[in-house]
Structure formats: structure tokens, C-alpha cells
Structure 1
Amino acid sequence: MPSFSKQMTNCTSILSIAEMMEESGIWISPTLQSWTHYPRIVELKAKLKDENISISEEAELQDLERRAENRLDVMRCMLDHDLRDRIVPGTDSGVNNLAFGHLDYDLQLLAQVGFTPAETLIAATRISAEAIGLNNEIGTIQPGKVADLVAFDGDPTVDVDAFSCVVAVFQAGCQIK
């Protein structure tokens, strides 16, 4: 029997799931970093960049990247079926090797599947607020809404890597980092 991800890369199957999601008002948080082993990929790419990677680790990286691409194809099919406004980033932090504090990984993966950098920011803010029914209180910068803000070293609407460069965090209007 083929694996789940091999079955799901059939875009026709995904179309029927996409239609059911839309009809039912379902949101999807694909937890891409978990599904693709992205933290390990990031770790191995850093070793490769530093030229401090073993032959077996390089082979592992190639295998992980190949498997990740197969899994990311599922999300690409969902985008082909216009589900962009039903997808919210999420992390599955705390499970296995998924450390807390890396929503940036999921945003980078959303960009890999076809979101623009600006769309990744919208997914993390406005769309996520809509998904949990709090869009009247959070999710956009507007008078009367809770002032939870993050400042980056770079423009995340142009470059998703800026999400990894947090320089300040404001919660309810008060700077906490």
C-alpha cells in the first residue's frame, strides 16, 4: 500500500478534500516543519555551509530534502485549488525534535510551496486570527485591537528569512523583548 504522502500527491484526491474543507469551513494548519523534518534539514544545511558535514550526514540531508519536497507537493496541490485563505502556519512544538520558537520555519516552508512573503505574514496574522474567531481583537494593526507586534531585522513582506531575525516583541503594547 502506498504511503499517505504518495497517495496525497494525487491532486485529484486533494481536490475532493479541498472542496470538503471549503464547504465545511475547515482551516488547515499543516505543521510543515514537523511533516518535513525541517529542523533537522536546517541543522544539516548549517553544517554543510560551515563545511563541517560528514558523508553520511550529507546523504541524510539529500534524503530529507527529497522526502520534504514530496510532502510539500501536497501543499502545492492545495494552493492549486485556491485554499490559500484556509491555511494557517503552526509548529507542533514540543514533539520530538521540534523546539518552541520556530514559527519562522513554517513560514519559510509556506514560501517554498508558493506563498509570497507577504502572504506568509498574512497567514500568520489575519488568517490565523480568523481561524480562531478572534479577528475582531487581533490579527491586524488597527485602532482598538490588541497591540501584539514583532519587529524584524529586514522586511518579511519581501524576504521570509527576516522572520528568523526578531529584534523586538511587543505584547499588549508593552515591549517584552
Structure 2
Amino acid sequence: EEFTCINNHGNVREVRPEELRGKRNSTSNRAVALDAQGNQIRVNDLVSIADGPFKGRQATIKRMNRAQLFLYSQTRTENAGIFVVRSRSCVLSGQKGKVERGAAAGGAFGARGKKKEDGGLIGKTVRIQSGQWKGYLGCVADTTATHVTVELHSRLKKVNVLRERVVVAGDKFGATDNPDR
């Protein structure tokens, strides 16, 4: 008895059950990656493929391994609909993350009635450039005109940072971008 497995390069091979022992990726359900626009994507998110051999298709993320996404598409018959694409080749379909956070915060107005000015930062991964948290990466949870609340990736902690101290982390090529310089 053998199983058909697909690796993170899209290659398919037959393996025996004893070869698979202990190799299952159990952290994939908690993993987070960035798409081509810097949005966070997770398992079960719907993505559109922006470039590569599968360009133009939509698929659901089934597993993640570093920057590789194992996607499922009902329209694809080869390998039971499973194929592998780099996370930066995909774009999150819809506004899932921003809509959920916006609704939870009470729409466009905060608890004190101040207008939120997120500038498209909510849900983005940012790098803190100066201050006590310099060098840390995190996801923007909330913004005001002067401050940004960042959920740090390396710690289970939310910190408030001045808006000018953060930049969106990573473009398509992995470089950070600061339009003020």
C-alpha cells in the first residue's frame, strides 16, 4: 500500500505509510503568510492566483509550509484539485480581515467618537522603526490619527506606537518600503 504525496515544489511521488510517520505539518492551521499586497492569509482563506502557471484561478488554502501554499480548486482534476503556489503569487479574495475588524470596532468611529484614519493599515504587517519596540514585526489592529496599535508577532502583546514609527513590511521582493524617505 502506498500514498500519493505532493511536496512543496508541486512534485508528486508515491510513499509508504512508514515514511510519513511524524512528518505531518501540525502548525499549518495556525500559520500566517503574506499575499502579494501584504495582506495576511491563513488556512481556509479564498485566494486568487496573480501570477505563475495557475494565474487567474481561485482556490482555497488547505495547508501552508513557509512561503508555499497548498491550494484546492474544484475545477482542477489533476492531483485531486491540489496544487502548490508561493504565497506572494496570490491575492486574498474579498476584504475578509478588514470587514471583520471594522465591524467589531463599531464602523468608522471609535468608542470616543473620533474618526478612524487607518490609511489602509488595519490588517497589514508592519515593522516598528524606532522606540522601545524597534525591529519588531506585527499586525495593525487599530489606528488613530497619531498612533497605531500593533499585535506583535513574536509576543502575545498589543503595543501602541506613533504612526510615523511604523512602515508596512515587505513588498513583492521582500524589501521594506518607506515613502517618507
- Relative to the length of structure 1, the TM-score reads 0.27
Higher Cα Rg: structure 1 or 2?
2
- Relative to the length of structure 2, the TM-score reads 0.26
Greater RCO (CA < 8 Å, at least 6 residues apart): 1
